[in-house]
A and B are shown apart, each in its own frame.
Chain A
Amino acid sequence: MRRATLVVALGVLVLTSAAGAQQEQMQMAHDHGAMEMDANGELSWRMPPMDPNMPMMPGLMGALPAVGPILPGFGLDPMDYPEARPREVMDLVDGQEITLTASVVRRMIAGRQYLVFAYNQQYPGPLLRAPTGATVVVNFENEIDQATTVHWHGLRLDNRFDGVPGVTQAPVLPGESFRYEVLFADTGVYWYHPHMREDIQQDLGLYGNLLAVPTQPDYYAEVNREEFLILDDMLIDDAGIVPYGDAAPTHTLMGRFGNVMLTNGATDYRLDVDRGEVVRFYVTNVANARTFNVTFGGAPIKVVASDLSKYEHEVWVDSVPIAPAERYVIEVRFDESGTVPIENTIQAIDHFRGEFYPHVDHLGNVSVADSMTDRDLADGFATLRSNLDVAADVDSYRAHFDRAPDHEIELTLEIGDLPLPIIQSMEFEKGLYVPPVEWNDTMPMMNWLSTGEEVRWILRDRASGRENMDIRWEFKKGDIVKLRVFNNPETLHPMHHPIHVHGQRYLVTSVDGVPNSNLVWKDTAIVPVASTVDMLIEMTNPGEWMVHCHIAEHLHSGMMLSFSVE
């Protein structure tokens, strides 16, 4: 079961570049003094980094996950690999053909070099920008040492190109290629990533944005510039990237939270603007598990759009909570010179002490120059637009909002043979309090030790009792399906789940029975603990499709189902 095909030390190169705040975070981690290889030179487990204020649970010292460790790139000399470069933009037209290659690259993260994955040797992968309605042919080549596919997240494209191994295509083995026809069906921002072992491949850098450019010039308000923010985190300690599970993921209870925050793949993201500029940010969360609460130094944020459409009405907010795989289109005006921090501001939880504590992760800076922009868009920015086109689109579905659901699923889990202290801890906590959203890894050791061998996350069809891939709903093209999702809090380890529906679009019509008064078309939406979320799915796209949690470790411990549209 333990795979150790690459047996030489990774050889993390400690370079002298500015490390910044991220390095401080890494230094905060416990230094367990462990090496990443054992006496035989093979990759070995070491305890994950933890907040030094968080105590070790008695009885877990020395415990190891039930699966073996794997770390792509382990044993390879980083200097033998090309250095990754920042993302480039590919402006594409209908029918254009491009090549997208997944490969191993050398990349600097927080002052140290690592071997990771990249598309076209870029971090993030290239931004693919095409007019709405265009189809682009992507010749994908797999040059990593794992089977993979590419999933075009959120795009309502032909089912054959959805990138789900065993459902829509065979895995693309190392050295093989696959031809995708990517339809930029709906105006909006999307992303692409593997649909195999996302906990490893996506975490190591296989992700990039797609933008379906509006065909109407005034689809969005006028802004001074557009910027793409891809938010991520990685789990790194003094010895390097913490290994992953080989036969199954580790961290399956909560998902793998990182301790190094990345914006567009870097720890030192910076944007330079003139004073008064209005910036439209396309924000994507590609983290395995972390939900961010993004702030811009207290500046008001205008929420414009999400996954597949604009909102019915633009609104002001102070922060943007964004779960894995979600996207939000927001606008911010920088009206004072200086540095505006982009931060993840949360109330973290220490379950051991039973306390909340404020926590801030630095995600980047916007440097605002003294000089005023020569195109002041303050008036337009101050105006909240109502999108009558969206409201009109939604109107034809309103008759379905209040009817009984067609299907109900319950989100739950089963826990097998975990170490007794973990079970005891969860039994003790059961019935006390679980927050609607887990913003931080509240139990790093327990989480690390829980693998896909012991934890099975479940989507349970309440009508049939069937679970996960045993559920096979059948629909006809044109069906409007009301799905009620209940996140059961009465389990040993409840947690929120970002639920992704492939190939279709849906509306979140209500949460806990409270109607949603500002609708937007989604493909991924968060279902907080104990919540009942009603989704109205428009079945327009024929084929075999998936519904799953987009926390990578939950997905790979079973939390997915399929449905067909004929």
Chain B
Amino acid sequence: MKVALRLAGLALAATCAAPALASPVPFLCAAPAALPALEPGTPYYDIELVPTGRVPGTRRAAGLARVNSTGSPFGVAVTSSGRYSVDLAVSFRGLVPRARDFAVWVATADLSEIHYIGVLDEAGNLKAEASWNKFLVIVTLEANGAEPGESWDGPIVFRGMSRSGRMHTMAGHGPFQAEACAKYGY
């Protein structure tokens, strides 16, 4: 956003109204301007649920898992091990109902732990929780009313990964250090 400022550096020594107690800082002073009003909630941690294309007629559906911090007396919800606890609100637009159920699962990135959440309701919605550092949201097509097993039986229709998954930069391991990425749990 302010990358241009670094180019300007000290040459732009105009002092914006300096904080009373801090040193004057050399920054470009932009004219104040109003910004659009804020809507509560943010898409920053939202998880886009991307179709696999394995099930005909699902490519045009748009899926999203909105991520909100679980209610907490502290303003941020973490487990005793420090993992974030989040509420997921899974929703779809344009998902054509089928004879079979759309089942929702959350899983660690290496699929070592998989939790069945439930099936999408008729409106294509479902609430879930998660408390892993990085996790997947997976939607599969399962037999109607089937008792869920440890993992899914049907095809994966949509999948998405928590934003924390983007932190896998490949800069610190993998190609540069010949370390298996899995060592770091993705």
**A439 and chain B: residue at smallest CB distance:** B82
Contacting residues, chain A, for B167 (C-beta < 8 A): 349, 351, 354-355, 432-433
Contact indicator A456/B171 (Cβ below 8 Å): no
Contacting residues, chain A, for B79 (C-beta < 8 A): 318-319
Interface residues of B in 1-26 (CB under 8 A from A): 1-3, 5-6, 8-10, 16-23, 25-26
Known contacts: A353-B184, A433-B166. The answer to whether A414 contacts B5 by CB under 8 A is yes
Q: Chain B residues in contact with chain A, CB under 8 A?
A: 1-3, 5-6, 8-10, 16-23, 25-27, 30-42, 44-45, 68-69, 71-76, 78-84, 133-134, 163-173, 184-185
With A319-B78, A354-B167, A413-B2 already in contact, 7 other A-B pairs whose C-beta atoms are closer than 8 Å = A347-B82, A356-B164, A423-B3, A437-B78, A465-B32, A467-B32, A558-B22
- Identify the 4 closest CB pairs spanning chains A and B, nearest first: A465-B32, A513-B40, A353-B172, A530-B44
Contact indicator A345/B38 (Cβ below 8 Å): no
Task: Choose one: A306, A435, A491, A528; the contact of B1 (CB below 8 Å).
Answer: A491
Task: Choose one: B5, B74, B84, B185; the contact of A322 (CB below 8 Å).
Answer: B74
A429-461 vs B: 1/0 string, CB under 8 Å? 101110111010000000000001111100010
Q: Is the interface of B mostly helix, strand, loop or mixed?
A: loop
Q: In the complex, how many residues of chain A place their beta carbon closer than 8 angstroms to a beta carbon of chain B?
A: 106
Contacting residues, chain B, for A81 (C-beta < 8 A): none
Which one of A298, A354, A462, A467 has the highest number of Cβ atoms from chain B below 10 Å of its Cβ?
A354
Task: Choose one: B20, B69, B133, B163; the contact of A166 (CB below 8 Å).
Answer: B20
Q: Chain A residues in contact with chain B, CB under 8 A?
A: 55, 165-167, 195-196, 247-248, 293, 295, 298, 303, 306, 311, 315, 317-323, 328, 345-347, 349-359, 405, 408, 410, 412-418, 420, 423, 427-429, 431-433, 435-437, 439, 452-456, 460, 462-470, 484, 486, 489-492, 496, 508, 510-514, 516-518, 520, 525-534, 555-558, 560
Task: Choose one: B23, B44, B81, B133; the contact of A248 (CB below 8 Å).
Answer: B23
Contacting residues, chain A, for B71 (C-beta < 8 A): 514, 516-518
Contact indicator A415/B134 (Cβ below 8 Å): no
**B19 and chain A: residue at smallest CB distance:** A558
Bound Cα distance A43, B146 (Å) = 72
Contact indicator B25/A452 (Cβ below 8 Å): yes
Contacting residues, chain B, for A351 (C-beta < 8 A): 167, 169
Contact indicator A303/B73 (Cβ below 8 Å): yes
Contact indicator A469/B17 (Cβ below 8 Å): yes
Contact indicator A558/B134 (Cβ below 8 Å): no
Contacting residues, chain A, for B39 (C-beta < 8 A): 513, 532
Output the least CB separation between A489 and chain B (Å).
5
**A498 and chain B: residue at smallest CB distance:** B75
18 A/B residue pairs, CB under 8 Å, sorted by A: A195-B21, A321-B75, A321-B78, A351-B169, A355-B185, A413-B2, A414-B27, A415-B5, A416-B27, A427-B3, A456-B25, A462-B34, A465-B35, A466-B32, A486-B38, A526-B74, A532-B39, A532-B41
Known contacts: A321-B74, A353-B184. The answer to whether A462 contacts B16 by CB under 8 A is no
Known contacts: A247-B23, A484-B40, A517-B71. The answer to whether A530 contacts B166 by CB under 8 A is no
Known contacts: A436-B76, A508-B75, A514-B68. The answer to whether A347 contacts B83 by CB under 8 A is yes
